[in-house]
Amino acid sequence: MATRRSFLAAAAAAAALPAPAVLAQAPQPLAFMTPFGFLPDFIEMMNMVSGGHLARHGFQPTLRAANGTAQALQQLAAGQVQFIRAASIDMIRAASAANAPFLAVATSHQGSTFHMISLRERPIERAEDLRGRTVGLVSVGGTTDTFLDLILRRVNIPRSEVRTETTGNSPGALQFVRQGRVDCFMASIIVPVVLRQQNEPIVAWSTDRYAPMPSQCYITTREIAERQPETVVRFLRALRDSMNELLDRPNQPIFERASRDFEIPGIRNMELTLAVTEASKRELWLTRGRENLLRNLPDLWESGFAALREAGLANPPDPSALWTNRFIEEALRA
């Protein structure tokens, strides 16, 4: 039977224990966003959630999907999300147009995701071959349109001497070449991987040959970086852990785990999904070696700024203010 003396003794003992808030802080809500849906290419983002990497670094995460880079940048600027993944070329142009407060804190894809693709029997093997030709683009005014401008400028071909058609971002675009509607087309790395699996006789080369620049970056705002630096570092540690897991362990179980949380297009064709992921890791994540995983590479940023400025497509007031290695260096040391 409890007495007043036993109650006071129990209360005193409880008072000597740390408060629950000290024992374990509540997870910090965090929202971040892909640039387009939950494609397999964003597996490192999905794995940050499904693999528990963000939770282990103190976050309660929500991964959202944009319908394009422009929407992702808008959501970040509006404070609806704290981090996004997006192409550096789009961030640079957005920052130039409106002096937007974006800051790239890591580069996940140091190699270009876009390739020029043609048939081996009628190859487009170099940019000089584009004069007088018709090029298929993913979309008018999109990233491939910008890359075409940069490539043509590099070899002094006026844009007026090259025609364009919209062919989308799928292996089916090769039929436009066979029909003679285009001579070649630009698409993301998934397309040449699929075409080679299908034993299609293609020639493909990366836009890095003529316009090297950081490809896919992790971006936040300068305000978040200044006011919440530890949040940025912990987020990047979770990203590091997710990418290392994908590099070191079999990927099929990771995709299967992520598919319980996200609707991943094409996940039923696991063989293709894994082939594309392996190509991305080899050709995009590790372009400069594993020792540079996630680092912003100064020469790529400088090359990208110069190419865009020379083409009259972007001229940010202070290019050096758009990226930093401060946070990723700290995250990689831990």
What residue spans define the domains of the chain? Answer: 29-111+214-333, 114-209
> Average pLDDT of 240-266?
97
Same fold, 29-111+214-333 and 114-209: yes
- Taking the C-alpha atoms of residue 105 and residue 331, their distance in angstroms, rounded to an integer, is 11
pLDDT digits over 210-238, tens only? 999 999 999 999 999 999 999 999 999 99
Question: E-strand spans in 198-258?
Answer: 202-206, 216-221
CATH class for the domain made up of 114-209: alpha beta
Fold for the domain defined by 29-111+214-333: D-Maltodextrin-Binding Protein; domain 2 (3.40.190)
- Fill in the amino acid letter for 157: I
Residue 26 neighbours by CB distance under 10 Å: 9
Share of the chain above pLDDT 70, in %: 93
Distance of alpha carbon 147 from alpha carbon 211, whole angstroms = 7
Of 61, 62, 56, the C-alpha closest to 24 is: 56
Give the CA angle between residues 319, 79, 332 to the nearest 5°: 60
Element housing 159 (H / E): none
pTM: predicted TM-score of the whole model, two decimal places: 0.86
C-alpha to C-alpha distances, 120 to 47, 95, 183, 273, nearest whole angstrom: 38, 39, 11, 25
Asked whether 240 and 330 are in contact (CB, 8 A), the reply is no
Q: Which residues in 177-213 are b (16+ Cβ under 10 Å) and which e? A: beeeebbbbbbbbbbbbbbeeeeeebbbbbbbebbbb
- Decide if pLDDT at 121 tops 90: yes
Contact 160, 93 (CB under 8 A): no
The confidence score (pLDDT) of residue 19 equals 41
Q: Map residue 73 onto helix, strand or coil.
A: helix
Q: Which pair of tokens denotes residue 322?
A: 């758009």
| pLDDT band (50, 70, 90) for residue 316 | confident
- Radius of gyration of the chain from Cα atoms? 23
Query: Does position 207 have pLDDT exceeding 90, yes or no?
Result: yes
Q: What is the rounded CA–CA span in Å between residue 168 and residue 188? A: 10
* pLDDT above 60: residue 276: yes
Tokens for 156, please give them: 């002094």
Q: Flag the least confident range among 12-16, 42-46, 145-149, 293-297.
A: 12-16
Say if residues 139 and 188 touch (Cβ distance below 8 Å): no
36 pLDDT exceeds 90?
A: no
pLDDT at 24: 58
Torsion sign over Cα 294, 57, 233, 316: positive
pLDDT of 22 above 80 = no
Q: What are phi and psi of 108, to 5 degrees?
A: -85, -35
